[in-house]
Amino acid sequence: MTTVICPYCFTRASAARLPYRCLMTPNGVRGGAPCGPRPDETWAAFMGPGVPPAARMRGPVFVPARRLAGLAGPGGTGSSVPCPDCGVPTPVRVCGSCHSDLPSDYCDQDSRIIALVGAKASGKSTYVAVLRNELDHRVGQAYHASLAAMGQHTQARDREMAEDLYERLRLPDATRPAALGFNDPLLYRLSLPRRGLLGSSGTRHTTLVFFDAAGEDLADAEAMDRYTRYLSAADGIILLVDPLQLGSVRDRLPVHDGPPLPVVETSPRQIAADLAAQLRTHGKGRSGGRVTTPIAVAVTKTDMLRPLLEPHSPLLHNAPHPGGAYDAEDRLAVHEELRALLTDWDSGALLRQLEHDFDRLSLFGLSALGAPPPANAPADVPKSGPQPVRVEDPLLWLLSLRGLLPVRTAGKEKATAGKERVR
């Protein structure tokens, strides 16, 4: 029986027992009178007090008869059932806890929830937009993978971000804080070759759920609690660290004619500590105190760090993807270089915090744009457009840990990643 995790409130439920929402469309069944909208107070309460009265009026939610649910496909997915009032079939399933509508194919495959965390100005929105494009093109080609947006919200957000970055050459708007409303997750279906002992054996579909917490929320315990369920349900965390928030990095960068340095926000060290505390509260810590959820710590804006890097640094070029396999040796080289840099920056305070708090972590460096924004328009993308470096690395590592990617280590390929603790 398929278990579904709601990507909005992260409640677990059997796919076969999910309620449905009436489409309110006439088709001549039972006299042709469609159902009318009804106030959905469950959904409105979840969304918060800002929901206007008109938006509360939605299609009626109903639980299908058990015998009908039993007629559905494997795991109770992939079917329509008739509304008990008007008789019109509907494929729209909703979460029984928050009444959020689920994309029609969301219940048909396993899901992997990726928590995206970072302070304000760390570039989360830009990172997601560029990562999406790279998975569609360069990285997707290397792994024979495809990525499809699921649901109208993600599809609309995808178009908006792509137009901003690649057509208008403008940076996406910053993530809004929780006080201004609920940030919908981005849902994608990732399709990869299924590999067996004899090679490729079909296709494996996995749902990726990206949830973006605004930087302001991470400094506010009450607001952060809104994201606690999301964090505790995550299969992996990508923590974006803006190196320009570290005093020692700001001091060492040469004077340049580029855009001004960002305003100092919540320190990466404090964000890491708050994140670990939230996860421990919800049972994600070992007896020794370290959090068990894998965390990919990604130092962003590496294009700004060029004066501090050696000419042959692996941070200056994209990772190889030999034969559609994740290169573990390359990951280790990047990890060790970032570990040396973090040990030096701010006396290694951030690195020590991370190693004390997380049981399984790996360090990454990336640049979503490949170059700083123009000095005269710091909200713009470079005129050449995004030329990203290593944006895919954190996600691919997390996927490899779950056995979704083959891993190449020391010239040999294996089906899944090893279980060693990365330090």
How many independent structural domains does the chain possess?
2
Helix (H, G, I), strand (E, B) or coil at 136: helix
Mean of per-residue pLDDT scores for the chain: 83
CA-CA distance, 212 to 233, in Å (whole number)? 14
Residue-number span of the structural domain to which 346 is assigned: 109-414
Q: Which of 295, 320, 290, 304 is nearest to 142 (CA)?
A: 320
Query: Could you tell me which residue, 233 or 285, shows the higher pLDDT?
Result: 233
Q: Span 167-173, mean pLDDT?
A: 84
Residue 31 lies in a domain: yes
Please check the confidence at residue 325 and state whether its pLDDT lies above 60. Answer: yes
pLDDT digits (tens, 9 = 90+) for 33-65: 789 999 999 999 988 888 899 999 999 999 987
Kindly state whether residues 70 and 173 are assigned to the same domain. no
Kindly state whether residues 31 and 146 are assigned to the same domain. no
Please check the confidence at residue 390 and state whether its pLDDT lies above 50. Answer: yes
Kindly state whether residues 194 and 289 are assigned to the same domain. yes
Kindly state whether residues 205 and 87 are assigned to the same domain. no
pLDDT digits (tens, 9 = 90+) for 359-380: 999 999 999 999 887 777 777 8
Out of 83, 107, 131, pick the residue that ends a domain: 107
Q: How confident is the model at residue 104 (pLDDT cuts 50, 70, 90)?
A: confident
Query: Could you tell me which residue, 231 or 139, shows the higher pLDDT?
Result: 139
Residue 165 CB burial class (10 angstroms; 0-12, 13-18, ≥19):
buried
Residue 49 lies in a domain: yes
Kindly state whether residues 159 and 72 are assigned to the same domain. no
Out of 107, 136, 168, pick the residue that ends a domain: 107
Kindly state whether residues 94 and 201 are assigned to the same domain. no
Query: Could you tell me which residue, 32 or 271, shows the higher pLDDT?
Result: 271
Name the pTM for this structure. Answer: 0.85
Beta bridge mates, 81: 90
Please check the confidence at residue 283 and state whether its pLDDT lies above 50. Answer: yes
Please check the confidence at residue 73 and state whether its pLDDT lies above 50. Answer: no
Residue 423 lies in a domain: no
CA-CA distance, 402 to 397, in Å (whole number)? 9
Residue 207 lies in a domain: yes
Continuous segment of H or E residues that includes residue 410: none
Lowest mean pLDDT among 70-84, 143-157, 187-201: 70-84
CA-CA distance, 405 to 388, in Å (whole number)? 22
Query: Which are the contacts of 284, defined by CB distance < 8 A and separation ≥ 6?
Result: 232, 291, 292, 293
Query: Which are the contacts of 279, defined by CB distance < 8 A and separation ≥ 6?
Result: 231, 232, 285, 291, 293
Q: What is the DSSP string of 71-107?
A: TSSGGG-S--EE-TTT--EE--EE-TTT--EE-TTGG
Kindly state whether residues 22 and 156 are assigned to the same domain. no
* Range among 107-121, 164-178, 247-261, 335-349 with highest mean pLDDT value: 335-349
Out of 107, 137, 161, pick the residue that ends a domain: 107
Beta bridge mates, 38: 58
Please check the confidence at residue 121 and state whether its pLDDT lies above 70. Answer: no
Helix (H, G, I), strand (E, B) or coil at 200: strand
CA-CA distance, 192 to 139, in Å (whole number)? 12
Continuous segment of H or E residues that includes residue 13: strand 12-14
In this structure, what CATH number is given to the domain that contains residue 128? 3.40.50.300
CA-CA distance, 398 to 114, in Å (whole number)? 9
pLDDT at 229: 74
